[in-house]
Structures are given as C-alpha cells and as structure tokens.
Chain A
Amino acid sequence: MLRRASRFHIYGNIFIPIGLVLLTLAVLWLLGELPQFEWDEKTLHTVTIAVFFTLMRLSVAYLCALAVSIPLALVASRDALAERIFIPLYDVMQSIPVLAFFPLIVLLFIKTGQLEGAVLTILFLSMVWNIVFTLISGLRAIPRDIRDVGRVFKAPPVTYVCTVLLPAALPSLVVGSLLAWAEGWNTIVVAEVLHTYIPNGSAAQDVLGVGDLLVHSSAAGDTGLFFYALAAIIIMVTVINFVVWQPLLTYAEQFKFDA
C-alpha cells in the first residue's frame, strides 16, 4: 500500500509538470499563439540569468526567514506570554494577504534606492510565518520525556537546542520550509514586477527574474519568451522538489516519534 502510494507520488512528480507544460502549449495553440521553437541563444541566455536571479532571491529570503523563524519559534513555544502574543498575530497574518503590504514596502525602499531589498523583504514576509508556526507546533509536540533527557543530562542551552529540540522538530521544519518555498514561488511573479507599485514607475525599475520575464513577455505578446519562462518555473520547481524536498522529507521521517 505504502509502496503503491510512493510510486504514485513519484509518477505524480514526473507527469504533473510534463502535463502542465503540455497544457500551456495547448492553451497557446488554442489562442493561436503557439511559439516558434527555434534555438534562440539570446532567449535561452535571458531565461538562464533570470532563473539564477530568482533562485538567489528565493534562497536569500528563505535563509533570512529560517534565521528569524528558529529563535522566534523557540521562544514562542516555551513562553506563555510570547504564545499569547503570537497566536492572535498568526490569526491576523493568516487572514491578511502579504502582498497587501507590498506597495508600502516598495515605497519605503524607493527612498534608499534599494529595490532589490523590497523584493527580498516581501519574499521574506511571505515565507517566514509558514516556518515559524509550523515549527512552533513541531516544538510543542516534542514529548516531555525527550525534553527531560536533555535536562537530566544537563545539556548546555545551545547544545540542548541543537541536539534535542531542533532534531526533534525537524519534520515540522522541513514541512514549514516546503510551504515557505511554495509561498515564495507564488509571490515572486508579483514581487519582481516592482514598477506597478511605484508612482510613475517604468519597466526599468523591475528586477530581472523569471516572474519579471513572465509578466513582460506576456504584456509584449512575446509568446516564445513567455513559454520559456513558464517552462523554466515548472522545471525549477520540479527539480528542487526532486533534489531537495523529497530527499529531505524522506530523511526527516527517521526523526519522527512513534505515535
């Protein structure tokens, strides 16, 4: 049963992305906008650079979110006052879309001329809550006996966190990270097109990335570039899923406690 489910999962990971690419082609064909598949080095170069920048942005935002989430979750999971602050905050943050803050963030960063900072901040905000609250629930689910083992053997605080709490909460941390990246992919398409949030803004103020390419190629009617950008996103998500998340999820299984 488990093997069948696992096989289905693997097939899903392969066929769903291929299906999405074919679906995109079918829609473009129906619209009469099927791209010319000519080997275009310039387009390929542009898409590769865009992929690189988008991945860098997502990685930097994720690492920042991780660095903030871990101490926040550690405090919130053991401090009653912090919990009283965090749980209502979570309810509020869940119901307000993070992109609603984007114009404000962009305006703040325009003053310093650091538009890349605006993109990273919005990506960070879209990722951080997923990790924080998944990790809080993971930390709170650690059996009391496991926590006591660290205390009985007088583990120093940092060692206790690194050798007991974080490994025990690793499955939650991986799931939280997976959700954070999914949220990051959703946000990137909007976040890289900054000029729409800047008064009298122009396309020159956008940052190069796959999201930026998607929006601009679509607006310019460049279906070839649009298709390549869309295919790049699908391929990136699929490859990261295969290379990073699936092995991490499998690895994290051995950190789970018996029910």
Chain B
Amino acid sequence: MPEIIFDRVGKLFPSTGKPGLVDVSFTINKGSFSSIVGASGSGKTTTLRIIAGLEQETSGHVVVPGRVGMVFQNAALFPWATALENVSFGLQMQGEKPVHVRATAEKYLAMLGLSAQAHLYPRMLSGGQRQRVGIARALAIEPPVLLLDEPFSALDEEVRLELCHDVLRIWQETGITVVMISHQLDEAVALSQKVFVMKQFSVAGTCDINLPYPRHPHAPEVVALVDHVRSIYRGEGNTV
C-alpha cells in the first residue's frame, strides 16, 4: 500500500530560476525502507524536503503523510537544550501534556541507549550520540514516515555501522516507513528494500533489493547489487 506518491513532480527555484526536480515519479510503500542515492545537486535533497513539507512542488502531484519525523545530517540539535529537552521538542509542538512528553522522550532515549545521557547538552555528547538523539527526536512524535538526510555521513566508520544497525532494528521493531538519502551506495544497498538513483533532477533508475537481513557489505550478492546501482548512477544500467 503506497505511503508516499510522487506523480510527475517538478520543482523550480524562483530565486535562481534553476530546476530542483524535473518530472519525478515514484511510489514508496507503507512500512518499507527506501533509499535515494545520487550525486550532489541531483535532486535527492529537494525530493526529501518536499516529502518533509519544507519545499513545495511547482508542478505534478504529491501524496505524503501530514506528519513526518526527520533526522538531519548534523543532528541539528538545539545547543541550549539537553538531550531530553531536544527529544521533547516535537511532542511539545504537538501540544502534548508535559507528563506524556517526558515519558515518551525518555522511552525513545532508552530505545536509542541514551538514558544515562538524558540530561547532557549536545556539546557533551559524541557525534554518534548526537545523531542518536536526533533519531529519538524524530521517532518521539511517532510519525508514519521517518526521513533520514545523510544521517551517517559525518560519522566515523565504526559509529556509522553501529547507527546503521540501530536504524535497521528500529525499522524492524516499529514498522515505520523509512526514506534515507545517502551518498554511500553500499550503505543504501545494505539497509534498503528499494534504491532510487537520481540524476539531473530526475529518477534515473530504481533497484529492488530482495536480500535477507542482516546483509554483510562484502557478501557477493550485496557487492553485485552495489555494482548494479553504480552502473545506473553512471548511466550504464537501468531499473532492476
């Protein structure tokens, strides 16, 4: 059952007159894990921002849920607020009662293994912990869709693998629809059920990945799919 529908969507930035998206069509099913990959300036961030409601399409038709959770590239935590207060932010904006806000924020911090850090400020946390707080904040409003904007790009390899594992676990436990933007093809293939490859403001191809989890990045099937996605990326391949 589709959760997100893009039907011939176009985006023109009025300030520059340059296109952000041209004729983009795809559907993302409820409870699925999808990734959007592509070079810088290919339109993947614009796509994610339209799903999040941060940008408005200029043509075509978009169906997205009214409420989404979003994890930003550099966590985007408020430096003046503790981890608990950061996670509470979305709930407070929804007008939830303080008791419920606190209980829910603590629940999601615990889910991300950050109960002991609840009263620490972002500057006291490591990069990985900050990103976990960002994920907890996005999940706390219990949205139907979780958007991840290159969430692991600023992290070192070990922390990146840990967080990939956490995101996969949360997706499997909650059944939430996940849409992730990534520069890393191996990361997209290891996590996703479907990869959209964007090029010059359009979807150049898609790749369905029907491999069981957990997926080892060096497993031959994974490597073969990464090569395939790369060939679409370079304009040599097409949809699988």
Contact = CB atoms under 8 A, between A and B. Distances in A.
Interface of A: 143, 145-146, 148-156, 159, 163-164, 167-168, 170, 254-258
Interface string B101-130: 000000000000000000001010000000
B72 A148 contact: yes
Nearest to B134: A149
Nearest to B73: A145
B190 interface: no
B76 A258 contact: no
A144 to B, nearest CB: 9
Nearest to B141: A153
Contacts of A148: 52, 54, 70, 72, 76
Given A154-B93, A159-B93, A145 B72 contact: yes
A231 B76 CA distance: 48
24 contacts: A145-B74, A145-B76, A146-B76, A148-B54, A148-B70, A148-B76, A149-B72, A149-B89, A150-B93, A151-B53, A151-B54, A152-B52, A152-B54, A152-B70, A153-B93, A154-B93, A156-B93, A167-B78, A167-B80, A168-B78, A254-B121, A255-B79, A255-B80, A256-B79
Contacts of A152: 52-54, 68-70
A258 B121 CA distance: 12
Interface string B68-105: 11101110101110000000011011100000000000
For the residues of A in contact with B, the DSSP-based class is helix
A32 B52 CA distance: 75
Contacts of A153: 89-90, 93-94, 141
Interface string B56-74: 0000000000011110111
Contacts of B92: 163
**What are the 5 tightest A-B residue pairs by CB atom distance, in nearest-first order?**
A145-B76, A153-B90, A145-B72, A153-B93, A255-B80
Interface centre among B52, B69, B72, B73 (most CB of A within 10 A): B72
